[in-house]
Structure 1
Amino acid sequence: MNDVKAENLANEPRVMTGDLSESASNAPVEAILSPEEYKKVERRARFKVDLQVVPLCLILYLLSFLDRTNIGQANLEGTTRPDGSIENPGLSQDLGLTAHDYAVALTILYPPYIVLEIPSNLLLKRIGPRIWIPMLVMCWGVVSTLQGLVQNRAGLLVNRFFLGATEAGILPGIAVYLTFFYKPRELQLRQALFFTGASLSGAFSGLLAAAIRKMDNIPTGHAGWRWIFILEGIFTVLFGFVCMFLLPNDIDGCWGLTPLERRLLEESLQSSSHRFEERQTLQEKLSSQTNELTEMPAGKPDGHWRRDTLRTFTDLRLLLKCCAGFCGAVPVYSVAYFSPVIVQNIGNYTTMKTMLMSCPPFAVSFVYAILMSLLSDYFQLRFVTAFPGMLLSVIGFAIIYAAEGTMTRYGGLIILTCGAYSLMPALFAWIANNSAGHYKRATGLALMIVLTNCGGLTSSWLFPSAEKPKYTRGLATNLALSCLGTVIIVAIELLIYHERHMRARGKRDDRVLTLHRDTQWQRGDLREFLGDDHPEYRLEM
């Protein structure tokens, strides 16, 4: 009966009002609309969702990265006056911290950050993103504000520990949150847009710090570096409160969608076949085998969450992507934490000029990352973003390490920033698109984020002030890791190419045929059980 109703509707004049007629209430949207109309409605619906989700995620991650890394701007040393006093002292100068103390302050943020990421994502699912994410934002905003009031080393370390604990859920939370709205093939551009909040935070951090540190000793006698934490932290708290009223939980919570648009998006997310390509030869083998089997079919596949989670740790391609993520994260955090001191020592600039000169590399990297993500999504290829990203990091660090000219080394900083900040969205999308099943995808992304944070922890120790102005160890370590990451990404691409070739030749069909012989499951059950090991699953290169 429903098919007849849908057919009658299909023969009517196609005037899109955005409403679903009662006769088509149970028909799939693809059955109601022509392909051209479907694409038109989908584009309109996606645009409405993008406006409500992506800008908020971008700003949230911008604030997260800003409040985590603005310590680099606060730590810039002040200018020594002729009488020996210091004008506008930095954090370490004011609190009497050694280079080791400062490195510990950077490092102590990461243990709670790493440990609490997965529990935070479990609470995200239970409490709902509209409540949980703004709560995290307001909590770390308060902690960041209090960072401007610390009086000694112990106070700073306690504050940084709780900053890591309260910020832990934001990156994995947003990564999972976006999957509530977008199919895997739509993720990289959106992930790039929110992840480039890190680039924008680098640009804004320098501009804001240059202005805020002029408030040294005014109006309340606080040092300029304290105002960086206080003002940026207060803004974070206020924005988190606003997000409680703006952030949608899921597609149902998005305003402005017509019933037709809402159903179209929900159906597209629920489709389990958008990563599978039906191969006629495999279906013929299954049909032939079905005719020979006489036993009763086994029950439906169960225990999928445990099975999918364990598969994360046996997937060589996924594990290599996580290793590449570590190699790429060390440059990201090195640039975020230490670009001010690198810039200062490249040109021997004053504190204020250093803050301003640290902005352009991040602004350029923002534009570059967006352009590369558009290209990657258009061709559905992640290698075309990941490989150049890692290669640019190699080139950039090599220039800074070996060159002598001030502007040449500054150009190297721009190149490596473009590479570092364009790489991570590609790796996130690569893992999401080549991992079938919610639990494997979520576990894979969580593992990736754990290793990227290990990269942040590592970077904390690479640029001690005792090694300025060349910072040979820090630059050499980053260069070596970038070279290793380049090799890993090439290896991943070769492994995927080989696997796709084997599947196309039918060399992986035994996975399905053996399972079908033992269970007599239908095609959907076989796909659910095997996931991305199924020979019809389309692995992205």
Structure 2
Amino acid sequence: MSSEKSAENPSIVLEDQIDQKDASSVEQAEAEKASSELIDSDSELLIPSRRLTAEKQLVRILDMRLLPTIVLIFILNYIDRTAVSAARLNGLESDLHINDIQYSTILAVLYASYVPAQIPSNMILNRISRPSWYIPICVILWGMTSALTGVAKNYAGILAARIFVGLPEAAFYPGAMYLLSRWYTRKELAFRGAILYGGLLISNAFGSLMAAGILSRLDGKMGIRGWRWLFYIEGAITICIGFFAIWALPDYPHNTRWLSPAQKRLAQVRLAEDAGEADEDAANESVMHGLKEALKDPKVYIFAIMTCSQLLGLSFVNFFPTLTATLGFNTTISLLLAAPPWIFATIVCCVNAWHADRTGERYFHIAGPWWGVIVGYIIGLSTPSVGGRYVGMFLMASGYAGFALTLVWVSNAIPRPPSKRSASMGIVNGFGNLGNLIGSYAWKADWGPDYHPSMIIGIASLSLSSVLALVIRFMLVAENKALERDQLKNLTPDERQRIEDAAKLEGLTMKEALERKRGFRYLY
């Protein structure tokens, strides 16, 4: 019957076909809309036409929010830690009745708690989901302890304060470097790490200027010695910055509160592309698994000894105001003279790291500044002139441009899994700071004002560091050659899982992800 009607009235057939096409068009439009909504909510920034602009914007957000916050914290970190050096020039030793050996112990005991706490702290940071709370709470705690140092009445009191300052401070530098490695690619990390470490270097300048102002203007105010005011004021500032950091710091790329879903996805994809694997631990890769893997890697031990040796060679930092005082000026001028070398060192640090990122080279950018320190020590050993020794101090301060890239190199050399990377960074920086502990006794007052034995120790230590860094370079060259031969033949299940996760993040096939992984190489 219907066929007869259709035959009699072809317009009915045409209308039915139009209705079917309309329905099909509606379904297609709805599917496209649903697909568009999915892209808008999660993957829109991965579209090639938008990717470059979106990535630049993401990095700019991090550079404007994450980076300034941790730099500011690091400035206060070292100002708080080295305030005791400035306090020494204002009567700390006489007021607390301590001798030269006891003063060296006050410097060293901070590292007795600071060194062992770094490994568990970084393991905790890898496991928790909110570094934006963990790091600021540690900042607030060390600010409180630093402020309480000002109430010390004797040697035992300041010793206890220094021990408890070291515990929360252990969370910061290796933790901050690990946090940076969770956001920036290998080619971005060196410069950002140097900017962070520039905070330490410039803190030596700011710390000296701040100390000069406080000690000269507040000494005796309200019946309180200037060195006590120094601890009160610097500790209070640190506490305030700690509360600010809770708001400012990000968490991880997958759960940061102030990024859109599309930006979170882009942040994860960037890191997956950089190493050919997702920057996440596999299901069975616990923090203890990461620690065990780090302890099996010989590079970790060489990095640790290298760092310990270089920090012994750079241990003059805790005595810098004392060294400038040997030039023969009063306390205020000596503190003011301590600032320019660190300003110069900050510039050298940033330029050196920028060039390291541009070239991808690591060894010469790390060891080169150490060789400058050796030259500075040689100047100090060979001339008594004030001008020559002050030039040597500029070279000495610039040596920290090498240390600024140490944890960057660790992150580059041990990129995955994150649990292994975080444990490795904690081990290297923790063990390495034993160099600072030993260095607390390497600049004895009895060896002043020339400190020739101290400088000879520094030359030997930095020479050893240079050799160990060269060994690491050769090891990474060998590993790169091995990667060229059989990189994909010996993948562990966990490595394959991270590559699969990266493929899902980026919308690649497993074959494409494996080919991209084949192109990964270590930076040396």
Tell me, yes or no, whether TM beats 0.5. Answer: yes
Counterpart-to-counterpart distance in 1, 2:120 and 2:469: 30
| Residue aligning to 2:5 | none
The answer to whether the Cα contact below 8 Å between 2:121 and 2:171 also exists between their aligned partners in 1 is yes
Per-residue deviation, residues 125-182 of structure 1 (Å, max 9, x unmatched): 4372222222111111111111112111111111111111222211222122223322
2:184 maps to amino acid: Y
Distance in 2 separating the partners of 1:481 and 1:253? 42
Instruction: Return the offset for 1:226.
Output: 1.4
Give the aligned partner of residue 11 of structure 2: none
Q: Deviations over 1:15-34 (max 9, x none)?
A: xxxxx941525885575223
Confirm or deny that 1:430 pairs with 2:409: yes
258-267 or 152-161, larger mean C-alpha shift: 258-267
User: 2 CA distance for matches of 1:476 and 1:264?
Assistant: 50
Instruction: Please give the residue correspondences for 1:363-402 in structure 2 after superposition, counting only pairs within 5 Å.
Output: 363-402=343-382
Other-structure match for 1:408: 388
The unaligned stretches of length 5 or more in structure 1 are 10-19, 77-88, 278-299
Question: Does residue 1:320 correspond to 2:302, yes or no?
Answer: yes
**Residues in 1 aligned to 2:368 and 2:411: alpha-carbon distance in whole angstroms:** 20
Deviations 1:60-91 (A, max 9, x none): 11111110111111112xxxxxxxxxxxx421
Supply the distance in 2 between the matched residues of 1:266 and 1:537 (Cα, whole angstroms): 17
Is residue 185–residue 433 contact of structure 1 (8 Å, CA) maintained in 2? no
Secondary structure (helix, strand or coil) at the match of 1:355 reads helix
**Residue aligning to 1:116:** 117
Q: Is the 8 A contact 2:69 2:249 kept in 1?
A: yes
CA distance in 2, matches of 1:192, 1:224: 33
User: Contact (CA 8 Å) 2:294, 2:424: kept in 1 or not?
Assistant: yes
Aligned CA distance change for structure 1 residues 21 and 405 (closer, same or farther; 3 Å)? farther
Task: Mark the CA change 1:301 to 1:58 in structure 2 (over 3 Å): closer, same or farther.
Answer: closer
Q: Which residue of 2 aligns with 1:105?
A: 106
8 Å CA contact 2:114, 2:167 repeated in 1 = yes
Q: Aligned partner of 1:194: which letter?
A: L
Distance in structure 2 (CA, Å) of the matches to 1:137 and 1:167? 7
Say which is worse superposed, 374-383 or 312-321, in terms of deviation. Answer: 312-321
Partners of 2:70 and 2:317 lie apart in 1 by: 19
The CA deviation at 1:535 is 7.5
In the superposition, relative to structure 1, how do residues 231 and 186 fare at CA in structure 2: closer, same or farther (>3 Å)?
A: same
**Cα distance between partner residues in 1 of 2:260 and 2:518:** 38
* TM-superposed deviation, 1:525: 7.2
Change (3 A) 1:311 1:154: same
Residue 43, structure 1, aligned to residue 52, structure 2: no
Q: Aligned partners of 2:124 and 2:409: how far apart in 1?
A: 25
Q: Deviations over 1:17-53 (max 9, x none)?
A: xxx941525885575223xx42222111110121110
1:320 positional shift: 2.0
Indicate whether 1:130 and 2:108 are aligned: no
Q: 8 Å contact 2:276–2:499 — kept in the other structure?
A: no
Q: What is the alpha-carbon distance in structure 1 between the residues aligned to residue 426 and residue 151 of structure 2?
A: 33
TM-score when scaled to structure 2?
A: 0.83
Matches of 1:304 and 1:109, distance apart in 2: 30
Q: Which residue matches 2:3?
A: none
User: For residue 153 of structure 1, what is the aligned residue in structure 2?
Assistant: 155
Aligned-partner SS, 1:423: helix
Alpha-carbon distance change, 475 to 433 in structure 1, aligned in 2, over 3 angstroms? same
Larger Rg: 2
Retained in 2: the 8 A contact 1:390–1:482?
yes
Matches within 5 A, 1:172-191: 172-191=174-193
Higher helix proportion (structure 1 or 2) = 2
Identity %: 25
Q: Distance in 2 between matches of 1:57 and 1:33?
A: 32
Contact 2:75 2:199 in 1 (8 A): yes
Structure-2 separation of matches of 1:33 and 1:118: 40
Q: Do structure 1's residue 205 and structure 2's residue 186 form an aligned pair?
A: no
TM-score by length of 1: 0.80
Q: Give the 3 Å change call, closer, same or farther, for CA 33–226 of structure 1 in structure 2.
A: same
Counterpart code for 1:132: Y
1:276-425 alignment, distance < 5 Å: 276=276, 302=284, 308-332=290-314, 334-345=315-326, 347-419=327-399, 421-425=400-404
Partner deviation per Cα, 1:348-389 (whole Å, 9 max, x = no partner): 121111100000111001111111111111122222411212
Q: Displacement, 1:212?
A: 0.7
Any idea what SS the aligned residue of 1:322 has?
A: helix
Deviations 1:222-258 (A, max 9, x none): 1111111111111111221222233232345364x55
Amino acid at match of 2:374: V
Q: Could you tell me how far 1:481 is from its partner in structure 2?
A: 0.4
Structure 2's unaligned 5+ residue stretches are: 1-27, 504-513
Q: Which residue of 1 aligns with 2:275?
A: 275
How many equivalent pairs are there? 476
C-alpha deviation, 1:329, in angstroms: 1.7
* RMSD over equivalenced CA pairs, Å: 3.2
Match of 1:24 in 2: 39
Alignment of 1:521-540 (within 5 A): 524=499, 537-540=520-523
C-alpha separation between the residues in 1 aligned to 2:45 and 2:233?
50
